[in-house]
Amino acid sequence: MTLNIGVLGYRFMGKAHSNALARLPMFFPDAPDIERHTLVGRDEEALADAAERFGFSHTATDWEDAIDEVDVFYNLGPNHVHAEPSIAALEAGVPVLCEKPLAPTLDEAAAMRDAAADADVPAGTAFNYRFVPAIRYAKGLIEDGALGEIRQVRGRYLQDWLVDPEAPWAWRLDGDMAGSGALGDLGAHTLDLADFLVGDEVGGVDRVSGHLQTFVNERPVYDEDGAVEEYRDVTVDDAYTAQVAYDSGAIGSFEATRFAEGHKNDHTIEIHGSKGSLKFSLERLNELEVLREGDRGYQTVLVTDETDPYVDHWWPPGHVIGWEHTFVHENYDFLSAVAEGGAFEPSFEQGYAVQKLLDAVVRADERGEWVSVE
């Protein structure tokens, strides 16, 4: 059986997932047979160009038309268009992979979670960093007890694309469209990764604190000639920090910013336990820093052996992979779940759990105090 894939969105994430879909037959021959069927967007000319480059046989300017024609629906549009198309697809019995964060608001995320619970098909939240081989290796170490009792989690996500106050306004800077700024765009990744790695060991999150800050309150919109047409308000955070108290007694500290000069895509997580520690940085995504009980310092493990997760599908040991390969792994697992009628993680339920944390950080900032996640 060939799965006809429909994709809403053809820019950043549309390109990343389309590239992954194209790579599957070459490197994952046991993946389900697929056809890149329908690409959805608003600008007909740009859409036609993207469809030709990405290998899609059809285009649509209305997502409702696409849902009627495909077997799987990818919702890769801006955050404010996540809920309605995803819910409609699930109600039609079409599996959905939706980009993170699940929605701009907790209410919309709850509606998406409920639609997924009622549907008899997979619904996945696209947290692609779960699919880094080094992260899978780290999870195995933690599950095997190599770190002992988990006591502390530290996560940060640093970028610098908004350092210049004249950097152009974009939808990610609008609260109605994005929901939040660095918190939802970057922090959602870190909070999900922490739960993936140690959630079973530390239990749920009891309470959180939060601090959000906007450094530049308005941004220019430029015309085709590079002249400023107008300035628009920035209605999201530029940076956040949060502290987390876990049910087990472990603690967590998290931060993200789009104002960290010199950091392009620095996503780092550290786990400290009673017997050891580990550190991971996306900027060195083939490596994991591990400290075991009795060691005097960290050991750098190159996670490229054919016995490591996903690596046997790629190159000989020592030949590294990159950021784009995480999407290939993610798509492989998701489409395999669709074809086999199995479950996929991270699910919409897990995407909603992250949304609850994002909402709690915002409430904590507004109140200036610790708040319960529930």
Q: What is the identity of the amino acid at 287?
A: E
What's the 3-state SS for 10-74? CCHHHHHHHHHHHHHHHHCCCCCEEEEEEEECCCHHHHHHHHHHHCCCEEECCHHHHHCCCCEEE
* DSSP-assigned beta bridge partners for residue 271: 153, 278
Q: Report residue 302 CA to chain centroid gap.
A: 24
Tokens of 35: 């056809």
Note the maximum CA span of the chain.
Answer: 62
What pLDDT was estimated at residue 1?
86
At 200, the amino acid letter reads D
CA distance 300 to 298: 7
Q: What is the pLDDT of residue 365?
A: 98
Structure tokens at 292: 């075991």
Locus of tokens 């939808």? 171
What the chain holds in terms of domains, given with CATH numbers, is 2-128 (3.40.50.720), 130-322+348-367 (3.30.360.10)
pTM for the predicted model, two decimal places: 0.96
pLDDT in tens, 183-198: 999 999 999 999 999 9
Q: What's the DSSP call for residue 347?
A: B
Q: Is the pLDDT of residue 294 over 90?
A: yes
Contact criterion met (CB below 8 Å) for 246 and 231: no
CB 196, CB 130: distance < 8 Å: yes
CA distance 354 to 77: 19
Per-residue model confidence as pLDDT tens digits over 203-254: 999 999 999 999 999 999 999 999 999 999 999 999 999 999 999 999 999 9
Measured N-to-C along each axis, helices 133-143 and 188-202 cross at an angle, to the nearest 10 degrees, of 20
**What pLDDT does 179 receive?**
96
CB of 182 within 8 A of CB of 239?
yes
What separation in angstroms does the CA of 342 have from each of 31, 124, 279, 334, 335?
A: 14, 12, 32, 9, 10
Task: Give yes or no for a contact between 9 and 40, defined as CB atoms under 8 angstroms apart.
Answer: yes
DSSP character for 246?
Answer: E
Task: Give me the pLDDT at residue 295, please.
Answer: 94
Helix (H, G, I), strand (E, B) or coil at 127: coil
Return the amino acid letter for 309.
P
